[in-house]
Amino acid sequence: MTELTNEQIHDTLVLPYLNHAARMFEAGYASAVDIDNAMRFGCGYPKGPLTVIDEIGADAVRAGLRARFLTSGDDLHDPAEVLNTLAHDGRSFAESGSAAGASAPELKQQITKVGVVGTGTMASGIVQVFAQAGYDVVFVGRGDDKIAGVVAFIDKGLSKLVEKGRIDEDAKAATLGRLTGATDREALADVDLVVEAIAEDLAIKTDLYRDLDRICKPGAILATTTSSMPITSLGAVTSRPEAVIGMHFFNPATIMKLVEVVTTEATSAEVNETVLAVCAKVGKVAVSCGDRSGFLVNCLLFPYLNDAVKLLESGAATIDEIDEAIKEQAGFPMGPFALLDVVGIDVSLAIQQELFAEFGEKGFAPAGTLETLVAVGSLGRKTGEGFRAY
């Protein structure tokens, strides 16, 4: 039997998540709108964390965190200074000026032809997104079979849209007609923007960026859809670090609306604005952030998931009790353990390890159960067993 009520489970897991979002805003890492949009469109949450703080009230959130901090001594539970300020002034994030609407981004350079490197599910989805939006797309893979696989993937996806009445056969044919597959990277010589979506291996990506810098025309933007590699390192091996940027699409790229647009200190403002404008043209919600581990979504999501595992380890609640409490109290589409099994426990552990290494917060140390499950190969749905059996 649980030692905690659903409300207590909610507060144990959600209040630190809200505090982390407040600190992210306080540090100037991202705007309130972008922080909220990241979690709404990246995780399917009904409301962003800063909106939730406004609804609960900064004073109430601060009080709940103070109580946790007195018990845990975890710096992550020490209320963000912005919560103290908002509570003192009786203001909200919405009233703080942080949510003020900005003018729509504009293309600072012409983007008519797009290149994509990679042939996996993510790369294929990105190719489809650009082609459907009217761009000519050159995609590069390691063999003719890989190229054919991308076309088959897109053909199947478009056929489903035709069946649902979302597009007609002419639109499908036009989209397929914009595709050019190639096995030689030299085919990217005249693209205006190239999106790299290959394996998450820094050495492999670094070699690719040296090659892209040689091949692509002057002024071409080099983007990566990495979720974990340091983008600054990729830019550093090119002669155009100002044109290197992150475009982190979420999987499946054809469905998920969010793109995290990640700038390094070297990325030019014109390149950033152009990429933001391109995201809008292809129907995505773009959020802006800097080049650090986790970007927006992973940096807020995975510590919360890690905390859920630590709560389980404490014996204060079961897997089912925690999942149900979060769905009921927070309105999240999935409980943390259901989500961990979907994402993959190995992936979750790797991301949490990166966050721990980047920020050095004791509270970010990966939960022991994650390490144990990975060690025995219980990785979630993909192996048939994780926190639950499938």
Residue numbers annotated as active site: 227, 248, 260, 298
- Cβ proximity of 48 and 323 under 8 Å: no
Rounded-to-integer distance, Cα 65 and Cα 55, Å: 16
Amino acid at 156: K
Give Dmax over CA atoms of the chain in angstroms. Answer: 65
- Cβ proximity of 116 and 243 under 8 Å: no
| Separation in Å, CA 169 to CA 158, 173, 371 | 9, 6, 49
CA angle 43, 45, 49 (to 5 degrees): 105
Element (H, E) at 109: none
Rounded-to-integer distance, Cα 190 and Cα 142, Å: 20
| E strand segments, the chain | 113-117, 136-140, 179-182, 193-196, 221-224, 244-249, 258-263, 285-290
Rounded-to-integer distance, Cα 275 and Cα 193, Å: 9
- Cβ proximity of 89 and 62 under 8 Å: no
- Cβ proximity of 108 and 272 under 8 Å: no
